[in-house]
A and B are shown apart, each in its own frame.
Chain A
């Protein structure tokens, strides 16, 4: 049996890989800041602190949604690549191709929104994109769909390269996920958790991309031949299969940072176990079939599909979430954890994921969904886990990387202040949304009733704090990434 390795091999990046990684992360940080500016503009507009015309509001909402999902995927793809490349041989061209196709897609989406005035939101629902009532042209809708196709094809290339590398090393995807150890046998303690998680993402998100590849092209057909009408319910199911998988995959890619980095700061191995393998195998299945929980309000959907959506909602997120949080807590308990910015961000991400998942599970319950789904409860839950869960995972890796390039953990006074500002801002912002959901404030509305405005203002203040902290993180990290790499710290034992 192989020994349990506390710190896997060196993470030093060769020049080409370092430049590509920097391109990903610097682009992602800049896009995060820009998209947050758009978010603050919307909350300010709802608060009546800023005059945002309704047509512009819905354009900004479309850009913010598509931009944030795409950027989150870009950043977490880099997280997955960063760790997976240590165990299997990935090709740099595939990683770079994904980046370039993402840029092409982003340009199409920006052009569709700000030139073509597309405002059909990122979760475009048929027939809205093709029936804009003069608000935008079919060209803009087509450009938006083509942008998604570019981004999806880029991700697919990266996943296929990852699949080839994983199969080359482990024989097939099942063995890479550790399925051979589910019912017995001695688990290889050095089997990388990053490989298990990456394999799950490759399987699940490739299926989502396949659904997207079908429905997006059908939208293009409907734009080219208006006499062709799709079944709106089929279109919605496929759209959400694609969209749901794409954004969920960001959590599973981001969490690799927790698996790989936590042990560096706790000084204690983060062991792999049978429950860990079971949870990833179960989540792989459930996360693929859970998307009907987005369609619980669609009365035309067969009842059994809605029931499946509810039951699987309870099962999909919990297994991985439980083993990860339990594993993280037992890993740091009495470990003499070295607290610095990366380790604080890792623990913040566990909290954000844990707290953010609860409103999601509540909303996945049919009885609650009927009341809450069209309220700001929904943006409350996904902003909670994305802002306080997934994004801190990315930031933790980046702080770790710039620390390793300086052979010292970054932990200045400003860093120590930045994390609580981000946390307080994020909590205020997300809780304002959840409270608005409790008050039945409708979501996706540019104009709000007077009774809702105090809540909007609290949200706007929280969003501004998050933006402030994020601008600091972005400047700090970009400066660190652009510095020439120094001597590698010894296995990052000091973090």
Chain B
């Protein structure tokens, strides 16, 4: 088996494994596990799938993805859908929505983001990171402050646990990024300024 085939089959197999009833059940029994483990894992595996794309496909896609904007837009819109509590519920209850979840997160979030990230400049990457951190804080706050349960499948306690976890993740990523900006070593994306005038 070639390396490319391995790069394709390993993530695809892992996605199939995540969709298998025991693992799916384990990750969908709590809101926290679904949002913080299952959904990100599917996106990461989609990102790994991007490495298996043939060069001519990547070149063709690059023409439609100047500066990484198109891929980012596609990934953002798709992620937006999976942030809705109603979508989380439907992903558990309705088989066709579950199918859409297992396909859309790898193919419409992880893969486009992995393809677009190297094309993005520092500014766009910074906006993505800031928005991700802000979203963690907003959703965390929302889940903690909302008096009623937002998903019919998950109890209020689970929702509030997720809220705390999101605040912690937002804070952790923020501290790491700030530390790296102030004291880290940087390799800027191609095309960024490296010299004074």
Contact = CB atoms under 8 A, between A and B. Distances in A.
Contacts, number: 100
A165 interface: yes
A254 to B, nearest CB: 23
A100 B182 CA distance: 29
Given A164-B122, A234-B141, A210 B133 contact: yes
A167 B196 contact: no
A168 B126 contact: no
Interface size band for B: 20 to 34
Given A157-B127, A203-B182, A168 B138 contact: no
Given A163-B181, A217-B134, A234-B141, A169 B123 contact: no
Contacts of A231: 145
Interface in A184-235: 203, 206, 209-210, 213-214, 217-218, 221, 227-231, 234
Contacts of A164: 121-123, 126, 188, 192-193
B193 A214 contact: no
Nearest to A161: B123
A86 interface: yes
A89 B196 contact: yes
A214 B183 contact: no
Contacts of A36: none
A210 B197 CA distance: 31
B127 A210 contact: no
A218 B144 CA distance: 13
A231 B144 CA distance: 10
A171 interface: yes
Contacts of B195: 89, 168-169
B155 to A, nearest CB: 19
Contacts of B146: 228
Contacts of A169: 193-196
B137 interface: yes
A89 B181 contact: no
Nearest to B184: A172
Interface string B131-144: 10110011001100
A161 B148 CA distance: 42
B69 interface: no
B190 to A, nearest CB: 12
A234 B167 CA distance: 14
A contact patch SS? helix
A89 B193 contact: yes
B130 A172 contact: no
Given A167-B186, A174-B182, A228-B146, A87 B123 contact: no
Interface in B6-57: none
A87 B196 CA distance: 5
A172 B186 contact: yes
A94 interface: yes
A221 B142 contact: yes
B142 A167 contact: no
B185 interface: yes
Nearest to A231: B145
Contacts of B182: 172-174, 177, 179, 203
Nearest to A159: B126
Nearest to A10: B197
Contacts of A213: 130-131, 134
A40 interface: no
Nearest to A195: B196
A213 B127 CA distance: 11
B142 A228 contact: yes
Given A160-B123, A172-B183, A172-B184, A210 B130 contact: yes
A372 to B, nearest CB: 33
Contacts of A168: 188, 192-195
A163 B122 contact: yes
A91 B185 CA distance: 22
A88 B192 CA distance: 11
A214 B195 CA distance: 35
Interface in A140-166: 156-157, 160-161, 163-165
Contacts of A174: 182-183
B145 A228 contact: yes
B145 A230 contact: yes
A94 B192 CA distance: 13
Contacts of B126: 156, 160, 163-164
Interface string A87-123: 1111100100000000000000000000000000000
A382 B127 CA distance: 31
A167 B181 contact: yes
B145 A172 contact: no
A94 B122 CA distance: 12
Contacts of A234: 141
Contacts of A91: 193
A165 B142 contact: no
Which one of B134, B146, B148, B194 has the greatest number of beta carbons of chain A within 10 Å? B134
A85 interface: yes
B147 to A, nearest CB: 8
Interface string B145-187: 1111000000000000000000000000010001011111110
B16 to A, nearest CB: 37
Contacts of B147: 227, 229
Nearest to A164: B122
A85 B197 contact: yes
B62 to A, nearest CB: 21
Contacts of B123: 94, 157, 160-161, 164
A156 B124 CA distance: 11
Contacts of A214: 134, 137-138, 141
A232 B126 CA distance: 30
Nearest to A199: B182
A156 B134 CA distance: 13
Contacts of B148: 227
Contact of B138 (A157, A218, A227): A218
Interface of B: 121-123, 126-127, 130-131, 133-134, 137-138, 141-142, 145-148, 174, 178, 180-186, 188, 192-197
5 contacts: A85-B197, A90-B193, A163-B126, A168-B193, A234-B141
Given A91-B193, A156-B127, A203-B178, 13 more contacts: A86-B196, A87-B197, A156-B130, A157-B123, A160-B123, A163-B126, A168-B195, A169-B194, A172-B182, A206-B130, A210-B130, A229-B147, A231-B145
